[in-house]
Structure 1
Amino acid sequence: MPRKAREKSQTGIYHIILRGINRQNIFEDDEDKDRLLQTLLRYREQCKYTIYAYCFMDNHFHLLLKEGQEPLEQIMRRINGSYVYWYNYKYERIGNLFQDRFKSEPVETDAYFLTVIRYIHQNSVKAGITKSTREYRWSSYNEYVGEGKLIDKDYVLKIFDEDYNVAIEKFIRFNNQWNDYECLEVEDKKKRLSDTELIEMIKKQFEVEAVKIQNKPKEEKEKILKKLLETEGVSTRQLSRVTGISVNSIWKL
């Protein structure tokens, strides 16, 4: 069955989501998130696109982006290819990192434009990672209230008010109002297991303490780890944390 054609935006602005293949993490640590940030900065100069908002979660990321000299597909091909090459080298892995092609929706009114910005900034709060948008380091929210590096915040703030200080106040109030609007979202969201839940599950399912998996014979150890990697709600870094087995060793499976 042929893929549905991507809906084009008359404004050139899109809300974009890209997630990890098989729901796996695409960021294992802050260095990974910083690498994507630097990649976006580098290609912004080359492709002349504009970014108005972003949020990097463990297994997906959001962008609010306006096309520049190149079409959206080419822009994302450059960004994704560069990041995946670096990520695979770092973690000694091969193959795809992202799930199929990226998802996008056109953003064509100021009202929805601002709604998407708020929606993106509230990702960490809705995921239970932080209690406020300002607490999360890996979104563009703090670029708006502080120093902007990647985003074009002047364009956005002028929608709120011509006076910069008044605009900032309005922006903060708007972004902290609860947003129940249904924007483009990651499908099939999974429940994250806590470390305690994972340790108990390992003990019950495999009759072994999590930290003792590394002492098992190689074949048995790999069998257990592969089964755990297929379990919904379990991340590679979390599995490394509770078993004491390095992330790279798990990736090599």
Structure 2
Amino acid sequence: MPRQAREKSESGIYHIMLRGTNRQEIFHDDEDCQRFIETLAKYKQKSDIKVYGWCLMGNHVHLLIGEGKEELPRFMKRIGVSYVWYYNRKYKTTGHLFQDRYKSEKVESDEYLLAVVRYIHQNPVKAGIAKTPGEWKWSSCQSYYRKKPYPVELLDMEYILCLFSEDLTTALRRFIEYNEEENRDSFLDDTDKKDYSDEEARVEIGKMIAGYEIAQVKALSKAQRDEIVAKVKKIEGLTQRQISRILGISLSLVNRA
């Protein structure tokens, strides 16, 4: 069945989610995050894209962007190809890193635009890895809060701030108040998403590797171990770090399996 064509946004603004294939982690350290941001900034300049918000999580990315002089699919392909080349070279791996098709939704109103910005910034809070949006190092919230731009030319914050006030000081104060409001907004999320505690993950892994004890896996031959890890990576909701931690093998070995 052919894929359904994406609906065009009249405003030219889209919320995008790019996820690792099989939910695998795509950022393992700060160097990876920095490389993705540099890649985004590089192709933003070439494509004249507007970036209104972004957030890097372990296995996915949220972007809020406005189309420029080239269409969105081409822009996203440039970013994906460049980052995958870096990733495969660094971790000595091959194959797909991202899901075949990124998710996107149209943003047609200012009200919806602000809600998406807030949702993107609160992603780390709702995931339980930050107490406030401003604590998370790898999101555009850092630039909005005047903490640390990545780099200066990456974020187009003027349009967002002007929706709060033409006075910059007032706009920043109102933006921060809005950005940290509690809410139940949900955009582009998978309704069947599962997140396992380590204890729950051990049970699921045990089912997948029936015939072996979890503690035995790290002592198996490379071929046997890789076969088992490849199966375990198909368990939806497990991260590669979690698999590494539970099986007692290095993250790089999990990544390459």
Q: TM-score, normalised by structure 1?
A: 0.89
Measured in 2, the distance between the counterparts of 1:187 and 1:75 equals: 27
| Kept in 2: contact 1:17–1:186 (CA 8 A) | no
Q: Is 1:94 matched up with 2:94?
A: yes
Q: Structure 1 residues 52 and 245, CA, compared in 2 at 3 Å: closer, same or farther? A: same
Measured in 1, the distance between the counterparts of 2:26 and 2:118 equals: 23
Q: Which runs of 4+ in 1 moved over 4 A?
A: 196-207
Q: Which residue matches 1:226?
A: 230
Q: Which residue matches 2:243?
A: 239
Q: Structure 1 residues 168 and 223, CA, compared in 2 at 3 Å: closer, same or farther? A: same
Q: Which residue matches 1:47?
A: 47
Q: Structure 1 residues 192 and 140, CA, compared in 2 at 3 Å: closer, same or farther? A: farther
**How far has the Cα of 1:182 moved from its partner?**
3.6
Higher mean alpha-carbon deviation, 121-130 vs 225-234, is at 225-234
| Kept in 1: contact 2:20–2:26 (CA 8 A) | yes
Q: Structure 1 residues 167 and 87, CA, compared in 2 at 3 Å: closer, same or farther? A: same
Q: Is 1:64 matched up with 2:64?
A: yes
Higher mean alpha-carbon deviation, 142-151 vs 44-53, is at 142-151
Measured in 1, the distance between the counterparts of 2:164 and 2:40 equals: 26
Matched residue SS, 1:234: coil
Q: Which residue matches 1:142?
A: 142
Q: Is 1:119 matched up with 2:119?
A: yes
Gaps of 5+ in 2: none
Measured in 2, the distance between the counterparts of 1:143 and 1:55 equals: 12
Matched residue SS, 2:163: helix
Q: Which residue matches 1:37?
A: 37
Q: Is 1:181 matched up with 2:207?
A: no
Aligned residues: 251
Q: TM-score, normalised by structure 2?
A: 0.88
Q: Which residue matches 2:11?
A: 11
Q: Structure 1 residues 223 and 26, CA, compared in 2 at 3 Å: closer, same or farther? A: same
Identity %: 46
Q: Which residue matches 1:161?
A: 165
CA-based RMSD of the aligned residues comes to 2.2
Gaps of 5+ in 1: none
